[in-house]
A and B are shown apart, each in its own frame.
Chain A
Amino acid sequence: MSTINGKVWKFGDAIDTDIIIPARYLILPLDQMKHKAMEPLRPEFAAQVSKGDVIVAGKNFGCGSSREQAPAVLKELGIRAIVAVSFARIFFRNAINLGIPVIECEGASAKVEEGDDIEINLSSGEVRIPKRDLSFSSSKLPDFLLEIINDGGLIPHLTSKGKS
């Protein structure tokens, strides 16, 4: 689990929650809602994204609403991790609560391209594009957050702890 490999979907700065999942779709059941992810900006995204893909974006990813549906639709579509220059506060916390690794990485956004095969080492914080010999350092998530992510989110983390 500590290393993630996936194909990159590239996004810009300030991808807000109304881009990730527009307000009008929030009351759809999640398996219908997920088909609307990123619709205003990239309507092809939901249909073409594959399980294990990774989003690389600029600054303030997930700004706006507190809607947990935003990370939830990305998770439902199989997004394995999100690498961004920075994240909005509520989105960051929501993503971890759903077990999605969110990696703050200053350098990747400028150099990583759509379709690149990316490798993320969660333990060391290293982000690489092996084919192009690119390597970036990121802010490593603290161990207690990695544990939550490993368990698949806060709820499974708490309930599995309760059981053991």
Chain B
Amino acid sequence: MGKTIVEKILSHASDNSDASAGEIVNARVSFMMTNDAVGELTVDAFEKLGGIPWDSARIAVILDHYIPATTEDAARTHKLLRDFSRKHGMHLFDQTGVCHQVMLESFVSPGDVVIGTDSHTCTYGGIGAFSTGVGSTDGAAAMATGKIWLRVPETIRVELIGKLSPHVHPKDLILHVIGTLGADGATYQALEFSGEGAATISVSGRFTICNMAVEAGAKAGIFEPDNETKRFMAERGREGVYFKSDPDARYCKHLKVDLSKLGPQVSCPWAVDNAVPVEEVQGTRIEQAFIGSCTNGRIEDFRTAAKILKGKTIHPEVRMLVTPASQEVYMQAVTEGLIETFISAGAIICNPGCSACFGGQGMLWEGEVCIGSHNRNFRARMGHKNSKVYLASPETVAVSALSGKIEDPRQH
């Protein structure tokens, strides 16, 4: 019986060279990451475990959720994490961007096993790594031992055929898949995106898709690494191990998506799996538009949004926030003139970090509505419990910001 890419990576990383779904392996960790949202608890648990890192060169502490410090409590957390990482010689990223973007820019390679104390750690599957989010205690244990016990997940194969139409993006695909599976439709499982259509999706788009695997409950999202991946890795000067699923690998479920038939999708409040075609919510009034986050805050997303906003002005009753996922993305956007386009259109540029996605900026008051390119629209996450958040692609967000209501990007 053949193996899935996830089974192969976890076999490679453990002493069980033939690991299959359902078995528990003690996997060797390639990199471990923590951030300021949960770092204090992680450090506390780590100290209780003896406080000796397994390999400081493979541990990253990234300040991104409350940066620059928004409150005195945030300042306390940041000071603690700066002191902690310097004491142990771990990588510290202080004003660099969202943890996942930073990890992809700096460390992760295909075939790696990466553990992060953030649920969207599953993003790194976009280059064929196995990566998953854990809590502080598990994170601390990985930090101390370089290992983590994992149940090898069953895999749902999402077979992609065809090619996305103009104005339809990887975000629309993943919202559709989450809407189809449900918010718990892939709990404990991995989501593998493969088939002839996979090659047509850029590495950046693959990050968007894998990032949101957790919104269907999945442990991991993954693409098989290919020539696109090789190009991305070559730019970063890293290599990695390229695993692929066997043709006779066993899957627990199949889902087929014809990319060419997919239209723009929007997730409605207050659940990510409440995804509908944009036509169903077209005309909904918005007060805020947000482009950013580890889901859609990359240069490709900014190019898409800037193309829409170029030479235009956002609706007078709309606030627009643009947050680059990292300093690198920010600098590139400056170089390409995209930032100038956003500012001219009336948007405000926020510093790289989690920003409005996490309610760190751009909070909403009662009854207000935001459309954003981020990953969660949970009640009260971005402000008042009776505010509403819709999730969409950067292009749908940009066209909506112009008109003051949710719009179909195909009509612009």
The answer to whether B207 has its CB under 8 Å from any CB of chain A is: no
A-B contact pairs, 5 of them (CB 8 A): A26-B37, A27-B71, A66-B117, A93-B135, A158-B141
Q: Give the Cβ gap from B239 to chain A, nearest Cβ, in Å.
A: 29
Picked from A24, A28, A155, the residue with its CB within 8 Å of the CB of B359 is A24
Instruction: Determine whether the beta carbon of B74 is less than 8 Å from that of A90.
Output: no
The verdict on A68 contacting B41 (CB below 8 Å), with A23-B359, A27-B73, A90-B134 known, is yes
Interface-side segment among A2-10, A13-21, A45-53, A127-135 = A13-21
The answer to whether B353 has its CB under 8 Å from any CB of chain A is: no
| A65 contacts across to B, CB distance below 8 A | 37, 118-119
Picked from B135, B358, B359, the residue with its CB within 8 Å of the CB of A97 is B135
The answer to whether A141 has its CB under 8 Å from any CB of chain B is: no
The verdict on A68 contacting B71 (CB below 8 Å), with A23-B37, A154-B141 known, is no
Instruction: Determine whether the beta carbon of B48 is less than 8 Å from that of A86.
Output: no
The answer to whether A125 has its CB under 8 Å from any CB of chain B is: no
| A17 contacts across to B, CB distance below 8 A | 378
Picked from A16, A26, A40, A68, the residue with its CB within 8 Å of the CB of B137 is A68
| B118 contacts across to A, CB distance below 8 A | 65-66
The verdict on A64 contacting B119 (CB below 8 Å), with A89-B217, A153-B137 known, is yes
Known A86-B187, A153-B137, A154-B138; 10 more pairs at CB < 8 Å: A23-B37, A23-B358, A27-B77, A40-B385, A60-B183, A68-B135, A90-B133, A94-B138, A97-B137, A155-B48
The answer to whether B184 has its CB under 8 Å from any CB of chain A is: yes
Tell me the A137-164 residues at the B interface (CB within 8 Å). Answer: 153-155, 158-159
Instruction: Determine whether the beta carbon of A29 is less than 8 Å from that of B117.
Output: no
| A18 contacts across to B, CB distance below 8 A | 376, 378-381
- Expressed in whole angstroms, the Cα–Cα distance for A40 and B381 within the complex equals 9
Instruction: Determine whether the beta carbon of A154 is less than 8 Å from that of B38.
Output: no
| B36 contacts across to A, CB distance below 8 A | 27
Q: Give the Cβ gap from A71 to chain B, nearest Cβ, in Å.
A: 8
The verdict on A94 contacting B381 (CB below 8 Å), with A27-B74, A63-B183 known, is no
- Expressed in whole angstroms, the Cα–Cα distance for A147 and B380 within the complex equals 36
The answer to whether B49 has its CB under 8 Å from any CB of chain A is: yes
Instruction: Determine whether the beta carbon of B135 is less than 8 Å from that of A66.
Output: yes
Picked from A59, A64, A67, the residue with its CB within 8 Å of the CB of B38 is A67
The answer to whether B257 has its CB under 8 Å from any CB of chain A is: no
Q: Give the Cβ gap from B273 to chain A, nearest Cβ, in Å.
A: 9
| B38 contacts across to A, CB distance below 8 A | 26, 66-69
The answer to whether B271 has its CB under 8 Å from any CB of chain A is: yes
- A binding-site residues for B, Cβ under 8 Å: 14, 16-19, 22-24, 26-29, 39-41, 59-60, 63-69, 71-72, 86, 88-90, 93-94, 97-98, 153-155, 158-159
The verdict on A63 contacting B37 (CB below 8 Å), with A29-B73, A68-B135, A97-B135 known, is no
* Smallest Cβ-Cβ distance to B189: which chain A residue: A89
- Expressed in whole angstroms, the Cα–Cα distance for A59 and B134 within the complex equals 20
* Smallest Cβ-Cβ distance to B188: which chain A residue: A89
Q: Give the Cβ gap from A98 to chain B, nearest Cβ, in Å.
A: 7
- Expressed in whole angstroms, the Cα–Cα distance for A26 and B137 within the complex equals 16
Number of interface residues of B (CB under 8 A): 45
Tell me if A's interface is mostly helix, strand, loop or mixed: loop
Tell me the B358-372 residues at the A interface (CB within 8 Å). Answer: 358-360
Q: Give the Cβ gap from B394 to chain A, nearest Cβ, in Å.
A: 22
Picked from A27, A41, A69, A86, the residue with its CB within 8 Å of the CB of B184 is A86
The verdict on A88 contacting B184 (CB below 8 Å), with A60-B217, A66-B38, A67-B37 known, is yes
Q: Give the Cβ gap from A109 to chain B, nearest Cβ, in Å.
A: 14
| A68 contacts across to B, CB distance below 8 A | 38, 41, 117, 135-137
The answer to whether B157 has its CB under 8 Å from any CB of chain A is: no
The answer to whether B201 has its CB under 8 Å from any CB of chain A is: no
Interface hub of B49, B138, B381 (most chain A Cβ within 10 A): B381
Picked from B45, B184, B360, the residue with its CB within 8 Å of the CB of A155 is B45
The answer to whether B66 has its CB under 8 Å from any CB of chain A is: yes
Instruction: Determine whether the beta carbon of A19 is less than 8 Å from that of B379.
Output: yes
Interface hub of B136, B188, B378 (most chain A Cβ within 10 A): B378
Tell me the B192-247 residues at the A interface (CB within 8 Å). Answer: 214, 217, 219
* Smallest Cβ-Cβ distance to A60: which chain B residue: B184
Closest 4 CB pairs of A and B: A40-B380, A94-B135, A68-B135, A97-B137
- Expressed in whole angstroms, the Cα–Cα distance for A28 and B73 within the complex equals 6
Question: 1/0 per residue B176-190: CB within 8 Å of A?
Answer: 000000011001100
Instruction: Determine whether the beta carbon of A159 is less than 8 Å from that of B49.
Output: yes
- Expressed in whole angstroms, the Cα–Cα distance for A105 and B198 within the complex equals 38
- Expressed in whole angstroms, the Cα–Cα distance for A159 and B46 within the complex equals 12
* Smallest Cβ-Cβ distance to A70: which chain B residue: B135
| B184 contacts across to A, CB distance below 8 A | 14, 59-60, 63, 86, 88
Question: 1/0 per residue B232-276: CB within 8 Å of A?
Answer: 000000000000000000000000000000000000000100000
Q: Give the Cβ gap from A30 to chain B, nearest Cβ, in Å.
A: 8
Instruction: Determine whether the beta carbon of B73 is less than 8 Å from that of A19.
Output: no
| A60 contacts across to B, CB distance below 8 A | 183-184, 187, 217
The verdict on A40 contacting B48 (CB below 8 Å), with A67-B38, A86-B184, A94-B135 known, is no
| A66 contacts across to B, CB distance below 8 A | 38, 116-119, 121, 133-135
Instruction: Determine whether the beta carbon of B137 is less than 8 Å from that of A94.
Output: yes
* Smallest Cβ-Cβ distance to A59: which chain B residue: B184
